C-alpha cells in the first residue's frame, strides 16, 4: 500500500505543481485573449481542489499501477500520455462544440499540454513508487 500511496502523492504533487505553473504563466497570455469574459476572474478553489485530487487517481488506475506491475517506465509514459490526451480531448472538444469563443488553436494546445503533463506525472510517480516499493 505504501508504494501506491507514495505514487499517488507524487502524481498529485507533480501534476498540480506543473499544471498550476502552466496556468499561471499562460492564463493572461493565451487563455484570456481567446476566451475573454467567459474566463472567470477568480478560480473556484473547491472545484480546482476536486480536479487535482481526482485526476491523479485516474492516472493511478490507467497508467501508474499498470506500469508498477510491469516495472516499465515506458508503460507509464505511454499510458499516462494517452490518459491525458483522451481526458483533455474530451474537455476541449466538448467546449469547442458548445462555446463560441473556444478555438481549434486552444483545443490543440490544451490537448498537447494535457498529454505532456500527464505523461510526465505518470513517469515521476511510477519511478517514485518503484523506488519506495
pLDDT tens-digit readout, 79-104? 999 999 999 999 999 999 999 999 99
| pLDDT value at residue 133 | 76
Q: How far apart are CA 118 and CA 58, in angstroms?
A: 10
| pLDDT value at residue 84 | 98
Residue ranges for the chain with pLDDT beneath 70: 1
| pLDDT value at residue 1 | 66
Burial class of residue 125 (count of CB atoms within 10 Å of its CB; 0-12, 13-18, 19+): buried
Amino acid at each position: 500500500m505504501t508504494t501506491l500511496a507514495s505514487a499517488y502523492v507524487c502524481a498529485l504533487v507533480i501534476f498540480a505543481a506543473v499544471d498550476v505553473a502552466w496556468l499561471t504563466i499562460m492564463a493572461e497570455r493565451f487563455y484570456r485573449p481567446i476566451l475573454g469574459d467567459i474566463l472567470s476572474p477568480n478560480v473556484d478553489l473547491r472545484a480546482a481542489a476536486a480536479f487535482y485530487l481526482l485526476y491523479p487517481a485516474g492516472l493511478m488506475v490507467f497508467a501508474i499501477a499498470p506500469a508498477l506491475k510491469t516495472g516499465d517506465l515506458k508503460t507509464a509514459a505511454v499510458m499516462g500520455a494517452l490518459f491525458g490526451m483522451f481526458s483533455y480531448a474530451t474537455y476541449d472538444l466538448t467546449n469547442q462544440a458548445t462555446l463560441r469563443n473556444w478555438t481549434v488553436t486552444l483545443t490543440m494546445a490544451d490537448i498537447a499540454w494535457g498529454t505532456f503533463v500527464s505523461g510526465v506525472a505518470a513517469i515521476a510517480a511510477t519511478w517514485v513508487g518503484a523506488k519506495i516499493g
